[in-house]
Amino acid sequence: MAPHMVKFSVRGTEIRLSYLFAVLLTAFALTDDSGLWLWSLLFSLFHECGHILAVLLCRGHIRRLDFQPFGIAMFLDGSDFSRPQEVFILSAGCLVNLIGACCCQGSHRVIQLMICGFNALPIGTLDGGRLSGLFLIGTLGEKRGRIAASILSFLLLGALSALGFYALFRYRRPSLLITAAYLCLTLLLKKEKLCFPV
């Protein structure tokens, strides 16, 4: 388990903020001089709240929330969701951003759509990765589905890394490359565990 900087409880739910979460926020703050990272953080929190609300609507009980660099890992107490409920929970964050985009204008709308699009990518533990994993496992079976999901994730990560290098050398913005590197790391270190990352 990664070290945590802050740990506290709210109504029986343990909240943990990781060091990596703080490091990533600092990196974006130092490399993004436009100030849009603050709005990105706010809209990302809206996204995660969509997942949390969906779990509560499905009568799930959240035992622990881990704030990680690119999302929140929710550890649930014995919650048994149906397949439609899992799809609803995984889709809820992007749905919140789409609703937010309809209510915003200009750069705020763009940020909402970018957060939605990013989380919809079928990579690793992102929402799209979880949804594509459910689909592939349901279609190909457990073993083949997991292999297919991993292959898809690494192929898309390669493309994302290439775009990250281009953005770094062309515009001197390392954010996309940092994101791709972290996603690759989480995919390589991913272990089976009783949690529901969103």
Model confidence pLDDT, tens digit, residues 107-165: 899 999 989 998 999 988 889 998 999 999 889 998 899 899 989 998 999 999 999 99
Compute the mean pLDDT over every residue in the chain, rounded to the nearest whole number: 83
CA distance 37 to 31: 10
Q: Which residue has the higher pLDDT, 77 or 104?
A: 104
Q: Is the pLDDT reported for residue 1 higher than 50?
A: no
Residue 70 is predicted with a pLDDT of: 63
Residue 194 is predicted with a pLDDT of: 34
The pLDDT tens digits of the residues spanning 83-101 come to: 899 999 999 999 999 999 9
Q: Is the pLDDT reported for residue 5 higher than 90?
A: no
DSSP label of 157: H
Helix pair 19-31, 175-189: axis angle to 10 deg: 160
The pLDDT tens digits of the residues spanning 39-71 come to: 888 888 899 899 989 998 998 888 888 877 666
CA distance 12 to 9: 6
178-187 exposure pattern, b = at least 16 Cβ within 10 A, e = fewer: bbbebbbebb
- Residue type at 75 in one-letter notation: F
Residue 197 is predicted with a pLDDT of: 44
Q: Is the pLDDT reported for residue 191 higher than 70?
A: no
Q: Select from 71, 63, 116, 109 the least CA-distant residue to 94.
A: 116
Residue 22 is predicted with a pLDDT of: 75
Q: Is the pLDDT reported for residue 79 higher than 70?
A: no
Describe the strand order of the beta sheet including 62-68 as a list of residue ranges: 4-10, 13-18, 62-68, 71-76, 196-197
Give me the phi and psi of 33, to 5 degrees please: -90, 5
Q: Cα-atom radius of gyration of the chain, to the nearest Å?
A: 17
Residue 122 is predicted with a pLDDT of: 92
Residue 50 is predicted with a pLDDT of: 93
